[in-house]
Amino acid sequence: MSHGHSHGGGGCRCAAEREEPPEQRGLAYGLYLRIDLERLQCLNESREGSGRGVFKPWEERTDRSKFVESDADEELLFNIPFTGNVKLKGIIIMGEDDDSHPSEMRLYKNIPQMSFDDTEREPDQTFSLNRDLTGELEYATKISRFSNVYHLSIHISKNFGADTTKVFYIGLRGEWTELRRHEVTICNYEASANPADHRVQQPGSPTRFRVPYRWPGYFRQRDGWVPGTRTEVPAGAAEGEECVSVAERGELPERSRKPQGARPSLQGALQCMCGNTMSVPLLTDAATVSGAERETAAVIFLHGLGDTGHSWADALSTIRLPHVKYICPHAPRIPVTLNMKMVMPSWFDLMGLSPDAPEDEAGIKKAAENIKALIEHEMKNGIPANRIVLGGFSQGGALSLYTALTCPHPLAGIVALSCWLPLHRNFPQAANGSAKDLAILQCHGELDPMVPVRFGALTAEKLRSVVTPAKVQFKTYPGVMHSSCPQEMAAVKEFLEKLLPPV
């Protein structure tokens, strides 16, 4: 086959020849972080779910405990959805030192849910593979064909003669850009909330949702929403404008636009000038879900890395309590070391995800002060500290833990989802005395590949040394990855009902 075909070793080069030093090479092959693993498919795998395990850090490529082997014959087909648009530059395929090593790889872009029948079509590029036992041979793609990829299919069509094919590692090198999210409603956060301005219409039936595994974004996915069907930015939209839509099940009402830099209300502007250290966007653009009755309590919920508050405002609206106001601020956009210094919404910088990774102590403390200012803002508006719950998912959950434990005000509790405790070595000494009585609900997916559940267990153990041990609940959910699930959201609702009863 001539189309996009690379014969023999002509299409590959040793990864060691790359310009990056060895310690930076892992970052170069970091696109595995951009895969929506929950939706990844591997067809003809002998062990269900094993195909996901070969997309792992470059430093772990020689870990032979994780591999995928074909079942009925030598073919494997990977359907790989990304969490944004990818410019794919190179691929590494590492196999066994025998005839089960792949000998041919065919690439297809942007064909979700490919089947083996679909592999009869012409691929976008084909490679003849050499045996690679160390994960050092990279096959360079034709960037002109792979510059706007939201879904990649890898067809392993042949091996060197064995009945089955075995793969230990697939490394992807390239660039990632965030998909714009338009199906949101932007609400102004004012010094005195007007329920008429902030009311979120309760759907007639509960909205099914999930927060998919993704790094960095954790966007809510609705029925009928698939990659490629998002609302496009209207022609002629000015730079800095965002399309506002309340799309539901693919039915798009008439669009309107709201400038991202919209001026806050006079009251809100005055509040921002009254000495708090929070940036104006955190106050003015927070996504909110107002109570249907007089609001006597508040939940401040912080999203994960790369997301916005809108996703969690949507999710929380499905478990809303009539007397509770939900406030979901947006993180500032900053360069993130873990993600190759790409600029994205992040509460603080991240250098790694292990308990021993270096931490952005100054950034964590600054972000915590900003959230404490938002807590004090609610207190000035009549909601006492013991009627405020702080919560978050992933990085947002981490910040909620640190903020609540160091807050001088006695909050009602914390909802900590799929997260960890930042600067954990500083505790219990760093905790404020009022933290002793905090109620904490900590939830974690047992298959979380980003923040492993064992980190959650270590966090729960540490928290029990800081607060009254009986007040820490640690719930895990089988089969759940770095995401939420209906059972978890039901637990959150039950926790809030007990902690914030009507008054």
Asked if 432 contacts 375 with a C-beta cutoff of 8 angstroms, the reply is: no
Is residue 448 among the annotated active site residues?
yes
Give me the phi and psi of 476, to 5 degrees please. Answer: -120, 155
Identify the three-state secondary structure at position 490: helix
* Catalytic choice (155, 448, 483, 484): 448
Burial of 71 (0-12, 13-18, 19+ CB in 10 A): middle
Is residue 482 among the annotated active site residues?
yes
Nearest-angstrom CA–CA distance, 56 and 50: 12
What is the helix, strand, coil percentage profile of the chain, to 5?
25, 25, 50
Is residue 394 among the annotated active site residues?
yes
Count of other CB atoms within 10 angstroms of residue 383: 18
DSSP symbol at 112? T
Alpha carbon 257 to its chain centroid, in Å, reads 26
Nearest-angstrom CA–CA distance, 151 and 114: 10
Tell me the two tokens of residue 97.
Answer: 């030192």
* Catalytic choice (6, 394, 418, 483): 394
- What sign does the dihedral 214-218-220-224 (CA atoms) show? negative
Tell me the two tokens of residue 503.
Answer: 């008054």
Count of other CB atoms within 10 angstroms of residue 208: 11
Helix (H) / strand (E) containing 284: helix 280-284
Counted residue by residue, the chain has a size of 503
* Catalytic choice (151, 310, 377, 482): 482
Pairing assessment for the beta strands 256-259 and 166-178 based on DSSP bridges: unpaired
Nearest-angstrom CA–CA distance, 382 and 364: 28
Nearest to 32 by CA among 14, 55, 54: 55
Asked if 254 contacts 247 with a C-beta cutoff of 8 angstroms, the reply is: no
What is the set of active-site residues? 394, 448, 482
